[in-house]
Amino acid sequence: MNALTKISNFLMTPAMKMVMIVAALLFPFVASNEYQIYVMALAFVWAIAVYGMNIITGLCGQLNLAHGGFFAIGAYTLAILTVDHGWAFWPAFIAAGAVGALLGFLVGVISLRLKEHYFAIFTLCVGFIIYLLLDKWEELTHGALGIINIPAPSGFGLVDFTETTPFYYLALAFMVLSIWLASRIAHSLLGRTFLAIRISDDLAASLGINLMRNKVLAFVLSTTYASVAGALYAGMVRFIGPAEAEVTHTFDMITYLLVGGIGTLMGPLLGTLAITWLTQSLQFLEEYRMIVFGPMLVVLVIFFPKGVVGSFLAWRGRRLAAAHDANTAKQAAVSKTSTDKTPATSTQEAGNHA
């Protein structure tokens, strides 16, 4: 067993998750300035939304291009309830998730009757309708001005979430919760059902899976994730505008998902963190980052459609399979020597090298 195998085995163990959580907990102490903590917290908030997208697009195979719109719906619900109606943060936060789920249900019931391209185009249009409504419906959304002075999450007098570091831990907690939930879903019968639908609609239906009900469920789960992330975002940034619903946010999230590994558990997190920090280091490119990301998307889907995590899992799978083959070959060789009583060092060696 060489070092590479050991490392790859370690990455798969539960201890690795502990290492990651400890690293995340320690990050504010090693960060060189507050800005880095802020960027990291923002990346966590986006990662929650990307996990939502992973459920409908990664597990269930439906490319939802309205995801950024639902993110904005969560942010606006929170902002409107707290600023215009004087709600406290946490009730408004729960309401934001509920509104995201409800609207997701309504949109899902209509849009999921469509398949593949039709679904993608339809959701693209839904995203645009959301943007236009946020921009034009001034009585409700304050129009193009956006909403300012959104309260930060209330810490019940114990912590002050207007500070960056406490908010960082809040975002971290929500993200860990989201990943845990996503992992429970992915490993449950429900997750397997979604996977079956992704692989083939017709085969899934022939297994007795209710396509519509499961797709709508996946869609509602994903929009709830998106709107919860949006609500957290509003509580963090404290001002929002119609630009939150722009389709570029959806495309950003697709990039995160694709880089990390679509349909994998840790992919969305890794992709979001990697691209966020890449963007930070390419700050001079901020407006033109798509010059890099556009071709990167194309290259990824052509050459590495599984992303970082997916490629790693595939590579590990191949190695394990090869090791397994070598082992069986070795055993076969050993049993052969014991019956034939002939020296078989050469075959054994070949087995070791394979």
Partner 1 sequence: MELFFQQVLNGLTLGSIYGLVALGLTLVYGILHVPNFAHGALYMVGAYVSYITMVDFGVNYWVAMLLAAVAVAVLAVLCERLVFNPLRDAPPIHDKIAAIGIMLFLEALVQMQWGAEFRRMPTPYTEILDIAGMTIPAQRVLIIAGAFSLMAVLHLFLKKTMTGSTIVAMAQNREGAFLVGIDANRVAMMTFAISGALAAVGATLFAPINLVYPAMGHLLIMKAFVIIILGGMGSIPGAIVGGLIIGFAEAFGGFYISTDYKDIIAFALLVVILSIKPTGLFSKGVH
Smallest distance, Å, CB 213 to partner 1? 17
Q: Which of 13, 15, 91, 116 binds partner 1 (CB under 8 A)?
A: 116
For tokens 């129009």, name the residue.
Answer: 143
Angle at 343 between CA 339 and CA 348, to 5 degrees: 95
| Helix residue ranges, H only, 54-148 | 67-79, 89-111, 116-136, 138-141
Q: Which of 122, 168, 256, 312 binds partner 1 (CB under 8 A)?
A: 122
Q: Please give the Cα distance from 354 to 350 (Å, whole number).
A: 6
185 counts as binding partner 1 under rule CB under 8 A: no
145 counts as binding partner 1 under rule CB under 8 A: no
**Are 151 and 78 in contact, with CB atoms under 8 Å apart?**
no
Residue 122 is given by DSSP the state: H
Nearest one of 241, 260, 244 to 307, comparing CA atoms: 260
Q: Return the SS3 of 240.
A: strand
Q: Which is nearer to partner 1, 62 or 77 (CB)?
A: 62
290 counts as binding partner 1 under rule CB under 8 A: yes
> For residues 65, 71, 77 and 83, what is the CA-based torsion angle, rounded to 10 degrees?
-130
Smallest distance, Å, CB 141 to partner 1? 13
For tokens 């304050």, name the residue.
Answer: 142
196 counts as binding partner 1 under rule CB under 8 A: no
- Cα four-point dihedral sign 152, 227, 53, 170: positive
117 counts as binding partner 1 under rule CB under 8 A: yes
Stretch that binds partner 1, among 91-99, 132-140, 237-245, 313-321 (CB under 8 A): 132-140
Q: Which is nearer to partner 1, 111 or 276 (CB)?
A: 111
Residues forming a β-bridge with 240: 147
115 counts as binding partner 1 under rule CB under 8 A: yes
136 counts as binding partner 1 under rule CB under 8 A: yes
Q: Please give the Cα distance from 97 to 80 (Å, whole number).
A: 14
181 counts as binding partner 1 under rule CB under 8 A: no
Nearest one of 185, 265, 320, 312 to 17, comparing CA atoms: 265
Q: Which of 6, 113, 184, 336 binds partner 1 (CB under 8 A)?
A: 113
Q: Which of 22, 144, 203, 301 binds partner 1 (CB under 8 A)?
A: 301
**Are 245 and 131 in contact, with CB atoms under 8 Å apart?**
yes
Q: Which is nearer to partner 1, 103 or 254 (CB)?
A: 254
Q: Which is nearer to partner 1, 119 or 167 (CB)?
A: 119
Smallest distance, Å, CB 101 to partner 1? 20
Q: How far is CA 131 from the centre of its chain?
A: 22
Stretch that binds partner 1, among 93-101, 112-120, 160-168, 206-214 (CB under 8 A): 112-120
Q: Which is nearer to partner 1, 294 or 317 (CB)?
A: 294
Q: Which residues contact 342 (CB under 8 A, 6 or more apart)?
A: none
287 counts as binding partner 1 under rule CB under 8 A: yes
The footprint of partner 1 on residues 26-65 (CB under 8 A) is: 57, 61, 63
296 counts as binding partner 1 under rule CB under 8 A: yes
Q: Which of 25, 298, 314, 321 binds partner 1 (CB under 8 A)?
A: 298
Q: How far is CA 107 from the centre of its chain?
A: 21
The footprint of partner 1 on residues 236-275 (CB under 8 A) is: 247-248, 251, 254, 258
Q: And the tokens for 224?
A: 């709830």
Binding site for partner 1 (CB under 8 A): 57, 61, 63, 110-111, 113-118, 120-122, 124-126, 128-129, 132-133, 136, 247-248, 251, 254, 258, 287-291, 293-298, 301-302, 305
